[in-house]
Amino acid sequence: GCGICVHKCPFNAITIVNLPEELEEGCVHRYGVNAFVLYRLPVVKDGMVVGILGPNGTGKTTAVKILAGQLLPNLCGDNEDWDNVIRAFRGNELQNYFEKLKNRQIKPVVKPQYVDLIPKAVKGKVRDLLKKADEVGKFDDVVRELELENVLDRDIKHLSGGELQRVAIAAAILRDAHFYFFDEPSSYLDIKQRLKVARIIRHLADSGKAVLTVEHDLAVLDYLSDVIHVVYGKPGAYGIFSQPKGTRNGINEFLRGYLKDENVRFRPQEIRFTKSSERKSQEGEILVEYPRLVKDYGGFRLEAEPGALYMGEVVSIVGPNGIGKTTFVKMLAGVEKPTEGEVDWELKVSYKPQYIKVDYEGTVYDLLSKINAGKLLNSFYKTELLNPLGVPDLYDKQVNELSGGELQRVAITAALIRDADLYLLDEPSAYLDVEQRLAVSRAIRHLMEKEGKTALVVEHDVLMIDYISDRLMVFEGEPGKHGKALPPTGMREGMNRFLAGVGITFRRDPDTGRPRANKENSVKDREQKEIGEYYYVA
Ligand code: ADP
Ligand code: ADP
Ligand code: MG
């Protein structure tokens, strides 16, 4: 039996029909009549990293504003007094926290979600910004750890997304606060940078600070957190923070779509990871053999070794930022002309760029129906792609008014409904929450399998890579200077090659099969490095 009645849960629109009565006393904030309602809050504890896992629009930022003292919760009534909040949380670990917050004994620091907006608010050189933030006297250490030496004298408005992210994290860490909140610290970063940032945030907690983080890359969340809360509910309507759960168990319950303590099923299907060796890669026919390709930009040179792509397979492209992944994909898409070699095939290619330009006047439905009206009505595409990505809910919106995550889902959909032989998707998970990433992964896999088409996907999220890939294409070299694209290989060989370069080992979770990063220097980490099995031991 299901304690809370949950009816048909499309992949990312979690719908719970009846709220249990006991929740009402956990009602923390209601923005207004018929407006969003937040139930319960996450724990905050000195010396701990508390992770939050859940879809966008379920109250994560609202909870953080409350914990940072920026929003006085109305307790779903007309409360205007912190004393009532303290009373409402009596016996809860948050009682003490709110007492301190009321007495201004808590100083919070927030690393915001949208780092792209920072240049609008902050002007000047990186060095000056970080010097000003430095209340703990660790400027040199933090700059070195986050590899910011080369951008110190640059103006903030000239930074790339990944550089802005690392500057924002550095600025937060340099503050002397009690409570640190990191909202999506991995956006724009490559895997090596993601795990490095995770370690730096962990050190904050190890030094006694209270840390809260929202993270949609599950491998990073897993590596980073001591406990997690799953947030469930109906995006835009209400959100409920689960009890704190052990990180491993919490992520597994999330993947299963069922929260045990709460007795709530919020997704009909569970997400399972198969060992990639079980996949039948290279059993299909060859779609195309591409030649050696070189692109020389003057400052940067990419050399791609020749390779072959098969029908019905998904190949993931992995490698650090600035190594030429986008450049390679653009050459296959016919957007960039190679300096050496030629892409002269008869293939139809559909391409989703990394940076999505919006110059379309009209609604989402207009745009998509112009591309392929038939597929919008096709029941396979409806169940496998459109509904899981929540696209029909966006049909009436103007394309140029979409948020980052909405635009990403529309762009992925636009690419996947085109009739093509080869689908090129450059960083499809950017701006997506965890549930949407899983939905996109399933859609890509199912469409390629069913239609016998081929997809090349540039991605940094290890769980997504593991879930979707038949094979892997590894990029190596010196970021910003020169890159080399190796031919596609099997997952094991590719992951070993790639992770050896990054210096990180992964194991598989026995229950869900999902990849988990080993802690540096743990027994498993050392054993696996010794035998050269960076990804998993059979
Ligand atoms: P998340 O961080 O999980 O994406 P938020 O806490 O930002 O979620 O928002 C949860 C919901 O509350 C959203 O539907 C948002 O539109 C709504 N909301 C946020 N701030 C306000 C506000 N000041 N007034 C009314 N609704 C709001
Ligand atoms: P990745 O996708 O792996 O992050 P890119 O292919 O986007 O890398 O970029 C690789 C390198 O090529 C970067 O140093 C980038 O600045 C440079 N680059 C990309 N496009 C151009 C261009 N049009 N002109 C000059 N340099 C470029
Ligand atoms: Mg790129």
Residue 417 near residue 270, CB atoms below 8 Å: no
Distance 482 CA to ligand 2 centre (A): 10
Reported as a pLDDT band with limits 50, 70 and 90, residue 355 is confident
Q: Given the DSSP bridges, would you call strands 471-478 and 489-490 parallel, antiparallel or unpaired?
A: antiparallel
**CA–CA separation, 304 vs 458, rounded Å?**
15
Strand partners, 150: none
What is the Rg, in whole angstroms, of the alpha carbon atoms belonging to the chain?
Answer: 23
Mutate to test the pocket of ligand 1, among 31, 242, 432 (most ligand atoms within 8 A of CB): 31
Nearest CA to ligand 2 atom 19: 327
| Phi/psi of residue 247, nearest 5 degrees | -60, -50
Residue 267 is predicted with a pLDDT of 86
Backbone dihedral region for residue 202 (phi beyond 0: left; psi -120 to 50: alpha; all else: beta): alpha
Closest C-alpha to ligand 2, atom 7: 326
- Residues 166, 169: Cα–Cα separation, whole Å: 5
Q: What is the mean pLDDT of residues 345-363?
A: 92
Q: In whole angstroms, what is the distance from residue 535 CA to residue 538 CA?
A: 9
- The model's pLDDT over 480-504, given as tens digits with 9 standing for 90+, comes to 999 999 999 999 999 999 999 999 9
Q: Does residue 321 have its Cβ closer than 6 Å to ligand 2?
A: yes
Mean pLDDT of the chain: 91
3-state DSSP assignment of residue 155: strand
Cα(243)–Cα(41) distance, integer angstroms: 9
Q: How far is the CA of 236 from the centre of ligand 1 (A)?
A: 7
CA 532 – ligand 1 centroid, Å: 47
380 CB near ligand 2 (under 6 Å): no
pLDDT at 11 exceeding the cut of 80: no
Ligand 2 atom closest to the Cα of residue 336 is 23
Q: Is 161 in the pocket of ligand 2 (CB under 6 A)?
A: no
Q: How far is the CA of 302 from the centre of ligand 2 (A)?
A: 9
Pocket of ligand 1 (CB under 6 A): 31, 35-36, 56-62, 236
Please list, in sequence order, all residues whose beta carbon lies within 8 angstroms of the beta carbon of residue 438, skipping any fewer than 6 positions away. 11, 271, 467
293, 297, 482, best to mutate for ligand 2 pocket (most atoms within 8 Å of CB): 297
Kindly report, residue by residue over 433-485, the tens digit of the pLDDT.
Answer: 999 999 999 999 999 999 999 999 999 999 999 999 999 999 999 999 999 99
> What DSSP letter does each residue of 183-223 carry, written as one string?
ESTTTT--HHHHHHHHHHHHHHHHTT-EEEEE---HHHHHH
pLDDT at 440: 96
Among protein residues, the one whose CA lies closest to atom 27 of ligand 2: 297
List, for residues 394-437, the tens digit of each pLDDT value. Answer: 999 999 999 889 999 999 999 999 999 999 999 999 989 999 99
Residue pLDDT, tens place only, 381-398? 999 999 999 999 999 999
Pocket test for ligand 1, best of 36, 76, 111, 231 (most atoms within 8 A of CB): 36
Cβ atoms of residues 15 and 266 within 8 Å: no
Measured CA to CA, the distance from residue 536 to residue 530 in angstroms comes to 13
For the segment 179-190, the average pLDDT, to the nearest whole number, is 94
Q: State the distance from the centre of ligand 2 to the C-alpha of 327, rounded, in angstroms.
A: 6
pLDDT attached to residue 12: 39
- For ligand 2, whether the C-beta of 258 sits within 6 Å is no
Report the distance separating Cα 434 and Cα 58, nearest Å.
Answer: 13
pLDDT band at 16 (very low <50, low <70, confident <90, very high): very low
Residue appearing with tokens 């450059």: 426
